[in-house]
Chain A
Amino acid sequence: MLRKLMISSCLAVVALSGNAYADSSTKVALVPGGPHPYFAAWEQAGADAAKDFGLGSAEYKVPQKWELSMQNQMLESLVTQGYNAFLIFPGDPVGTVAIANELADTGAPVMALAGCLKDPSDALFCMGTDTGNSAYLGTKELLTKLAGGKGKKIAHFTGFLVDPNTQLRIDAVNKAAVEAGAEVIQVIADIDAPEPAEEKINAYLAAHAKDVDGIITTAWVPAVVASNALRKIGDKRIVMVGIDHDKVVIQAIKDGFVHGTMLQNPYGQGYIGSFAADKLRSGCKVKADAPFKTNALTNKFIDSGTVFAGINEADNYVASMQKITKTLLASFEKTYLSC
């Protein structure tokens, strides 16, 4: 009965479900690393989960700046406010471990969401995108489009180097390129902010547009800026694969300037994460033999879904992510938890 309701209530708002459960005392906090459009779906996901599963609350709490200390202070204040389950995007895979462990010590279930903490940590698991693998798959898509990629030259635009994930992405792109016999001729990093991205990407295309066959972007802002830049110079020869679901990128895919984008599943992360948090607070345990995957950071990884969206998927990517979320949720309790 319980499971049935759960499945049917997934995503679609089921009016009755709110009444079907007694309000639990679970207060989930969904805490991103800072203000960023990627996490916007968490707010709705938390609210939906709270309603669908009868949580006390599941709230989206955003640190005002993208700073580790700001996130730490926010998390500490949430403890004082009585939040008792935490879904955290780690400001730094290593740097956030200490605070996550402290939160776990208060008895609250702590999970890394969207990005992982580096093992060892007291986080129960990490549900999100395997950043390295997503970059690898994106590069593969790009090279496939480039007739297999042999001898092709690609450029890689990515985020801040202080974020260890950036190194993982650089390695993954290089690996995919080497495998296909292509060459990464330039990496431009530290441009996950609009002004530097605009300056550097345009300067790069101005000087090297004719030398490059493909572009892979592995951070939000560079994907947006590069999409616009390609539209501006009207170049459909250069094949580009972006990341995430910014409207600019999606539109550029529809208009043929961008080949496709590597989507992630922030809504599903927030929704399933909140569900799991409540289960874990009401006596469930993470199975010792749960079929976790392994990535560069952790061996307790759950893939929340990474899919490539090309021109055919650009219109209905939301539906395809929802499908993944449904599938994941339907078997989540059975697969990962013992209650």
Chain B
Amino acid sequence: MNSQLANYRESDWFGPLLITVAAIVIVSVFNPEFLSPYNLQILLLAIAVNALIALSQMMIIAIGQMNLSVGAIGGLAAISFGGMMEVWLIPWPVAALLALGIGLFAGIANGVLVAWTGISAFVITLASLSIFKGINLGITEAQPFYKIPEIVKLLGNETFLGPLPWLILPTVVVAVGLWYLLSFLPLGRFILAVGGNAHSAELSGISVAKTVVAAHAISGLLAAMAGIMLVGRLQLGQPTIGDDWLILSFAAPVIGGAVLTGGKVSVAGTLLGVTIVVIINQVLVLFNIDPFLVQVVLGGLILWAVGVNRWREVRAQKTEKRLAA
């Protein structure tokens, strides 16, 4: 029992979990409204979309690369989804599938270019960011698509079972799926192995190229999914969807313990990282922070969150050393 607890304490997600719980307790003491069903619904909605964005980036962090085009893919999928429904009158499930297909294709294109040319993913996805965003602007001329079917709007905003929004369902499925993939499936092991050390992965018979393409494909798919869900939530096919994702997409996995050089990521940690960021954003509103100070407080809270986690790690290491000695 004791050792099991120790096991938990060593896992990546334990620190972020502590921070999340502490944040929830502190905030709800000062403002009980925080735990009202409606606010929980708002929180979960924000987490549902942001989690997909963060997981999309996490898959690429896992192979030790970066995907700068996450937001551009999401935005392109979002306006394609809206545009297909408005202009071509395609039924929404078909439009959603096609938009997911676009995301998947965009991801595969990234992956193939990275694997085939060997050029750093940073450069490739920077170029494709520009291409995808450019196509988005070329199609929309910065005008949103407005004719979103009622059912999509409902799915984007309604709840089932109390405060649980429908949008949380795909996110849960994706999170469980990715956890299963990374923990039990060969592809998941390959991804982490490639991220840990591409060279030795190659030597042990893993096809690095296929793994890289697969990771980028998943990343593109998840980004597209986030974009489509945002259309439902905003009730608009906004061309600016995705413009703000980049920083969040990195911050959440890193707060959740991911290592940027690859090979070490945690689905649970990333989800908690997203939750922490979302709570921080809510706190800034709930406590009526002077708008001119919002950025300072935001930065300070991020430092606090990672600082607590780091402090815990350092202490754990010291205890370990003491026990070993």
Q: Say if A and B assemble together.
A: yes
A residues near B (Cβ < 8 Å) are: 35-37, 39-40, 62, 64, 161, 170, 185-190, 193-196, 198-200, 202-204, 206-208, 221, 224-225, 228, 232-233, 246-248
**Which residues of chain A have C-beta atoms less than 8 A from B155's C-beta?**
none
Q: With contacts defined as CB atoms under 8 Å apart, how many contacts are there between chain A and chain B in the complex?
A: 94
Interface residue from A186, A188, A196, A233 paired with B244 (Cβ < 8 Å): A196
Given the known inter-chain contacts A199-B281, A202-B42, A247-B146, please indicate yes or no for A35 contacting B239, CB distance below 8 A. Answer: yes
Cα distance A204–B243 when bound, in Å? 23
Find out whether the CB atom of A40 lies under 8 angstroms from the CB atom of B141: yes
Cα distance A40–B142 when bound, in Å? 8
Find out whether the CB atom of B31 lies under 8 angstroms from the CB atom of A207: yes
The main secondary structure of chain A at its interface with chain B is helix
Tell me, yes or no, whether B264 is within 8 Å of chain A by CB: no
Query: Can you list 9 A-B contacts with CB-CB less than 8 angstroms, sorted by A residue number?
Result: A40-B143, A62-B142, A64-B134, A189-B294, A190-B295, A195-B244, A200-B285, A206-B33, A206-B38
Find out whether the CB atom of B42 lies under 8 angstroms from the CB atom of A206: yes
**Which residues of chain B have C-beta atoms less than 8 A from A62's C-beta?**
142
Given the known inter-chain contacts A36-B142, A37-B142, A248-B235, please indicate yes or no for A207 contacting B285, CB distance below 8 A. Answer: yes
Cα distance A196–B238 when bound, in Å? 13
**Which residues of chain A have C-beta atoms less than 8 A from B33's C-beta?**
206-208
Find out whether the CB atom of B234 lies under 8 angstroms from the CB atom of A228: yes
Q: Closest CB-CB distance, A115 to chain B, in whole Å?
A: 17
Find out whether the CB atom of B230 lies under 8 angstroms from the CB atom of A161: no
Q: Closest CB-CB distance, A222 to chain B, in whole Å?
A: 12
**Which residues of chain A have C-beta atoms less than 8 A from B42's C-beta?**
199, 202-203, 206
**Which residues of chain A have C-beta atoms less than 8 A from B142's C-beta?**
35-37, 39-40, 62
Cα distance A126–B240 when bound, in Å? 28
Find out whether the CB atom of A64 lies under 8 angstroms from the CB atom of B288: no
Q: Closest CB-CB distance, A220 to chain B, in whole Å?
A: 10
Cα distance A225–B33 when bound, in Å? 22
* Central interface residue in A188, A194, A204, A246, by most chain B CB within 10 Å: A194
Tell me, yes or no, whether B39 is within 8 Å of chain A by CB: yes
Chain B 271-305 interface 0/1 with A at a Cβ cutoff of 8 Å (1 = within):
00000001001101110100110110000000000
7 more contacts with CB within 8 A, not counting A35-B137, A193-B244, A198-B234, are A35-B239, A36-B142, A40-B142, A195-B49, A200-B284, A200-B285, A206-B38
Find out whether the CB atom of A187 lies under 8 angstroms from the CB atom of B291: yes
**Which residues of chain A have C-beta atoms less than 8 A from B31's C-beta?**
207
Which residue of B has the minimal Cβ distance to A189? B291
Find out whether the CB atom of A199 lies under 8 angstroms from the CB atom of B234: no
Chain B 211-242 interface 0/1 with A at a Cβ cutoff of 8 Å (1 = within):
00000000000000000001001111011110
Which residue of B has the minimal Cβ distance to A185? B288
